[in-house]
Structure 1
Amino acid sequence: MNPTRPVRYTRRGFSLLELSLVLAIVGVLMAVAAYNFMGAGERAKVRATKATLGTIKNILQTYQVDHSVFPPDLQTLVVSKYLEDKKIKDGFEQPLYYAPVGREGRPYELLSSGPDAKFQTADDIDVWTMDR
């Protein structure tokens, strides 16, 4: 009769250090992914704002060719059927600023207040400088 021997497992589990290291790496990867994901929405709104400004710039040029002057305000473009009313807001759902007389030799001013929704701050998006 053979006495029963205790079965020895040769396979070891993961040590606490190994598990902690893997969890730390996963945590760092999750933080990087969350950071990139959170900024993606704002970048998309900036791109949408730039597209809107570019569209309105083209419409302003068309209006100027048709009427020999730039419109006094953006609402004139809506009334004249050059532009839909909803296009007068930027990607952040803020109204755009338009002035028919520009500065620095520009024919007009057209800009968005940017992500902070305040004009005359560093994040303003100007139609004349947005592609620089």
Structure 2
Amino acid sequence: MIGFQNMYLFVDDIGARGWLIMGAISSFLEAKSDHKQYHYQHIRANEAGFSLIELLFVITILAVLIPIAVLTYSGVQTKVTTDLVTVDLKVIGAAARTYYMKNGTFPIGIQTLVDDGYLDELPKDKFVSGGVGYRFIPSSNPFKVWSIGPNKSDDGGAADDIKLEFAP
């Protein structure tokens, strides 16, 4: 506080005694710096880090939260993939119906829908890596198409397979 008092004494006469003001300000800053340094040394001496109990508490919380986050993420990912597959199957169904209206029969395969211009590209099953397409029963009435589903096992359109049937 001495620095501030000296500074206020000389505010009116800055030209002649400006160097005294600068001296007061610098001594004030040095005192404040010394206080900070003492404060940080004091903290380091008495509080060297986290206690073992604090670390165990944090590790326990993480051990509980991480599996919950992983399960939630995988559930959301499966739901999104299922929704994408359902959209693909509906697009295939619409193309198959259009094919049926023009030709009087369902196509012999999904590739026929691409070859004849009803689909831009052959959709791939999102549950299978490697670019495998959806399963179907050729020329069936109703036209049946399915994905292997989240269990990644072809159950012929049963179990968890995602399937749609399209009648004319």
TM-score between both structures, scaled by the size of structure 1: 0.69
User: What is the 5 A alignment of 1:49-128?
Assistant: 49-87=85-123, 89-92=124-127, 93-99=131-137, 100-102=139-141, 107-120=142-155, 122-128=159-165
How far off its partner does 1:44 sit? 2.2
Provide the alpha-carbon RMSD of the alignment: 2.6
Structure 2 gap segments, 5+ residues each: 1-42
* Residue pair 1:111, 1:125 contacting (<8 A) in 2 also: yes
Q: Identity over aligned residues, as a percent?
A: 31
Larger RCO, structures 1/2 (Cα 8 Å, 6+ apart): 1
Q: Which has the higher helix share?
A: 2
* Residue pair 1:98, 1:110 contacting (<8 A) in 2 also: yes
For residues 76-106 of structure 1, the C-alpha deviation after alignment (integer angstroms, 9 at most, x for no partner) is 111110013332x22124321222214xxxx
Structure 1 gap segments, 5+ residues each: 1-8
- Give the distance between the partners of 1:84 and 1:118, measured in 2 at CA: 27
How far off its partner does 1:125 sit? 1.0
- Give the distance between the partners of 2:70 and 2:144, measured in 1 at CA: 37
- Give the distance between the partners of 1:81 and 1:22, measured in 2 at CA: 59
* Residue pair 2:111, 2:122 contacting (<8 A) in 1 also: no
How far off its partner does 1:49 sit? 0.9
* Residue pair 1:114, 1:125 contacting (<8 A) in 2 also: yes
- Give the distance between the partners of 1:23 and 1:73, measured in 2 at CA: 55
* Residue pair 2:114, 2:122 contacting (<8 A) in 1 also: no
TM-score between both structures, scaled by the size of structure 2: 0.57
The answer to whether structure 1 residue 25 and structure 2 residue 66 are counterparts is: no
For residues 96-128 of structure 1, the C-alpha deviation after alignment (integer angstroms, 9 at most, x for no partner) is 1222214xxxx1211111234332152211114
For residues 41-66 of structure 1, the C-alpha deviation after alignment (integer angstroms, 9 at most, x for no partner) is 33322221111001111111111112
- Give the distance between the partners of 1:123 and 1:60, measured in 2 at CA: 23
How far off its partner does 1:15 sit? 5.5
User: Considering only CA atoms, is the larger Rg found in Structure 1 or Structure 2?
Assistant: 2
- Give the distance between the partners of 2:133 and 2:71, measured in 1 at CA: 28
Residue type matched to 2:74 in 1? M
* Residue pair 1:48, 1:90 contacting (<8 A) in 2 also: no
Give the paired residue count. Answer: 115
